């Protein structure tokens, strides 16, 4: 049992930590959530359906993130503003690298500022690439509900004035309309929309 438990933690740790990190935008909080999730996994190991372990873990992580957001003091909200910029900057071009880093960072903060379930769904779907089936299992919603929340969440992000202003000043005139629907193309490149699979 212990070996199976360790294997499960190794398999899902990255997913849980990433979800917590992009939801909370603070490394320590994300670590707390990760610990909390895996302690609960150990406590409920005998009871849970191991066929749906990933969804169960995401649901526990989602609830833990909500608890952390409630507890979080406003003063702590932006402490981790400039953390992890270096580790995020691996895939950017040399030209406009700093701008892209800044845009990425602002986008992370904007995601963090979203209410639930918009935030969780955007992190699960767009950041982590989970399938709609996994998300609806995790959050107990139908696929159509998940899509509605996803699109509304994205529109909320696009309504962020700082992001839009920064985009207009730096990227708006440079890029051309790309006829490929980039989201679906990228997802089809991964294994059925799951970065972790």
Partner 1 sequence: MPSTSESQCYFVQLQIDSYLDGDLALTQQQEFMSHMKQCEACAREFRFAQTMLDTVMDFQLLDCDEQVMEPIYRLANGGHESGQTTQSVAGFSWDNIVRPFNSGPLFLRYSLPVAAIAVLAIVLSISVFTPAEDTPVVAQQASVAPAEELAQLPQYNPAEIRQAVEDLNLAIEYLNQIGRRTDALISDRYLIRPLQDTLNASFERAATRNQKRTLNDPI
Contact residues toward partner 1 (CB under 8 A) are 2, 5-6, 9, 13-15, 17-18, 21-22, 30-31, 34-35, 38-39, 42-43, 84, 87-88, 90-91, 100, 103-104, 107-108, 111, 122, 126-129, 147, 150-151, 154-155, 157-158, 163-164, 167-168, 171-172, 175-179, 181-188, 195-196
Task: Give least dist CB 72 to partner 1, A.
Answer: 19
Torsion 119-125-129-131 (CA) sign: positive
Give yes or no for a contact between 168 and 103, defined as CB atoms under 8 angstroms apart.
Answer: no
* Partners of 191 in the β-ladder: 194
Residue identified by tokens 């009871």 is 47
CA distances 117 to 141, 146, 183, Å, are: 10, 9, 20
Residue placing its CB nearer to partner 1 in the complex, 69 or 163: 163
Residue placing its CB nearer to partner 1 in the complex, 115 or 168: 168
Give yes or no for a contact between 68 and 34, defined as CB atoms under 8 angstroms apart.
Answer: no
Rounded CA-CA distance 28/129 in Å is 24
Residue placing its CB nearer to partner 1 in the complex, 6 or 81: 6
Rounded CA-CA distance 6/3 in Å is 5
Rounded CA-CA distance 38/6 in Å is 10
Task: Give least dist CB 5 to partner 1, A.
Answer: 6
Task: Give least dist CB 62 to partner 1, A.
Answer: 17
Task: Give least dist CB 75 to partner 1, A.
Answer: 24
Give yes or no for a contact between 17 and 31, defined as CB atoms under 8 angstroms apart.
Answer: yes
Residue placing its CB nearer to partner 1 in the complex, 75 or 91: 91
Residue placing its CB nearer to partner 1 in the complex, 21 or 56: 21
Task: Give least dist CB 66 to partner 1, A.
Answer: 20
Task: Give least dist CB 13 to partner 1, A.
Answer: 6
**Sequence-distant (≥ 6) Cβ neighbours of residue 121 within 8 angstroms:** 135, 139, 146, 149, 150, 153
């Amino acid at each position: 049992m212990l070996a199976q438990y360790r294997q499960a933690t190794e398999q899902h740790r990255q997913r849980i930590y990433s979800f917590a990190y992009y939801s909370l935008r603070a490394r320590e909080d994300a670590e707390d959530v990760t610990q909390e999730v895996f302690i609960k996994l150990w406590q409920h190991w005998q009871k849970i359906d191991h066929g749906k372990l990933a969804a169960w873990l995401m649901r526990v992580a989602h609830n833990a993130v909500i608890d952390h957001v409630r507890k979080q003091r406003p003063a702590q909200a932006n402490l981790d503003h400039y953390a992890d910029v270096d580790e995020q900057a691996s895939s950017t071009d040399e030209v406009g690298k700093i701008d892209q880093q800044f845009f990425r960072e602002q986008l992370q903060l904007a995601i963090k500022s979203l209410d639930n379930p918009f935030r969780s769904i955007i992190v699960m779907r767009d950041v982590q690439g989970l399938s709609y089936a996994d998300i609806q299992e995790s959050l107990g919603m139908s696929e159509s509900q998940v899509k509605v929340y996803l699109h509304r969440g994205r529109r909320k992000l696009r309504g962020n004035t700082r992001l839009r202003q920064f985009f207009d000043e730096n990227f708006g005139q440079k890029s051309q309309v790309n006829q490929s629907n980039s989201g679906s193309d990228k997802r089809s490149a991964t294994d059925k929309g799951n970065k972790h699979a």
